[in-house]
Structure 1
Amino acid sequence: ANNTAVGYQALDSTTTGKDNTALGIYAGQSQTTATSNCFVGTAAGSATTGSFNTFIGSGEIGVSAGAGEFVTTGSKNTIIGRYSGNQGGLDIRTASNFIVLSDGDGNPRQWINNNGAAVFPTQGDAGYGTINLVNDDPFIRFFDNGGTSTADKKKWDVRAVGASGSETFDIRTVNDANTVFTTLFSIRHTNGAVGLSTSPATTGTGITFPATQSASSNANTLDDYEEGTFTPYINAAGISGVTYSVRAGRYTKIGNRVSVDVAIELSNKGTGGSGNLNIEGLPFTASNTSGYYINYGCLVDSLNSDCRQVAAQTIPNQSYVIITKNGGSTAQHSALQYSDITNITIIRFYACYEVA
């Protein structure tokens, strides 16, 4: 029946079983009709009646069990080390398709169960249950092979980079040719900063968004944050030669809304201007929503005319504001004109508007 037995009572009970190999005292002792087992070591698989098992590891008669010694009807298991089949919280005596790696005392250190899940147990409070990857660019790759075509297959890497200047923990996607790597999430271990689809900040702690917004269709998702400065300026038809003593703008953008602070102080209003006076150079274009004319508090000093109730007003789909005014009557407001300002006019305002 093509069985090979070396050792006292190895394969001692075999009747019609075939293609079994047992090397060691009592190895495979209880086998009767099972096939294609390989037992190496004292008492390895001595109680096993299942088939297609591979157990390698010696016990000590009367003291400790051999590899798989307590496995009974389980089949297609692989054990390397002195794990008995029921030890260290893992019982596979009647289970199949397990792979177990144990230490010299039979404690299971790693195993893969019959669903393909890998387990790394700990022993006591000092245990770590870790996976140590020693490499210049270590990563663990998750590969989805369930698709019907190459395009269906997805690859994700969990990666640690320790090189100077790029000390990060990354989650990235990989293309089919393994040539394009797209970082989705990074944490810089030196400061705990987080990057979303971009590199995290090298100093300070916070969340870094991409320089170009990747907008989400979910209204409850924060998909952008940005801070910065800009240089505002006045404009009107035909204007030239304007000079400033103060020209400052700051902004903070959160999601689809930006807040801006503007301060302008003229030293010369220039020449040739006419019509509406615009404050231009805003960092983002206002929402292109019909009727989106929103007014904000504004200070205007040193004008040529009596202007009251001044306000800064955004214009749909434009990156400038106009200054609205009212002459004190019951008439509707109108736009501040170039002719209303002087060489020392001051304009300051704050606005918070939805971007296009």
Structure 2
Amino acid sequence: MSDQSRQPVEPPLAPGVYAALLEQLPEGVVVVDAGRRLVLANHRAERLTGIHLTDRVGQDICEALPLLNADGRSYWETDNPWGGLRTRSGSPEQRLVLADGRSVLAATRHIRAGSDRTLQWLVMTMRSTTVRDRIESETSALVTTIAHELRAPLGAVRGFSRTLRNRWDQLRDDQKLWMLDAIDTDAARLQRQVGELLDISRLDTGRLMLRSREVDLLSLVRTGIERVVSTGVDADRFRVVSQFDEVRLTADADRLTQVLSNLLENAVRHGRGTVTVTVQLSRREVQLDVSDEGPGIAPEHRSLVFTRFWQARGRGGNGLGLYVVHGLVAAHGGRVEVLDLPGGATFRMTLPRHTPEPEEAAS
């Protein structure tokens, strides 16, 4: 007799042990037998459904746990694992509704036996819909926000284009140039908003890549100011303060210009008076402050400004710009924050003089 055959056979676990193990799972678990009777349910399943399932053990599952699918029909009757194809191994996760209106995300696993693959046990796992509801709500808010933001420039581009086409011979040259400038401005606005959406996707999925090289931060600041001034903002509103003629660091110039433009436009839109850009340099870091003379940001809002869809009350915008700023600065290995200083809002960006390699920034 082999050594393997002399190994003692472990006795099966007692039913109470199985029940105790199920209580350790984060998901709700319901077990049904071949006769459609409820056999076992853990307390997580009871909390998710609001039903004392342990008091209904032995009942027909249709009565013990009445679940409805998206069509309002009984899930058990429409899914019918007892009478359906015997090749089925289970059902994918889907939202199911209970009589009191609460819902769960549930999936089943079919345990079959014999050559005819008769269903012996059905195991249902369930979890809360809270996370999915939040994701769906954020997605809906994103679609609504972007649709609203795109509508105005698209309407302007279409209106001016139609006017130019239909009244070309009636318009003066200066009117034509003004409309063409307006079309160009709105097209640039659309391009930027689409770019922000792509950046959000790359940031959220870790696919953002940096093309880093040595750049002069002060030169990028001046470029960012010029871009804001080109939209009609008075150049006298901006002041740059630095004891250096140039501040060099390793960074993605395009991404850093995007960050600076967002911070400058934010200061112009939400602040008042002079917008001051202060650049300081240490051995390992570069520090840049963008300050305005407006009402500032309330202390209770400072932890929210870099989240999606946060907007200063009554100031417009899509609430995505600062979220992108935070992600792009973090990709450079830096940090951005709102300082608790009197006399307006001050955003501070701190960057290492040498940014991470592209593959590090994308992680």
State the TM-score, normalized to the length of structure 1: 0.22
**Higher gyration radius (CA):** 1
Larger proportion of strand: 1
Q: Which has the higher contact order (CA 8 A, sep 6+)?
A: 2
State the TM-score, normalized to the length of structure 2: 0.22
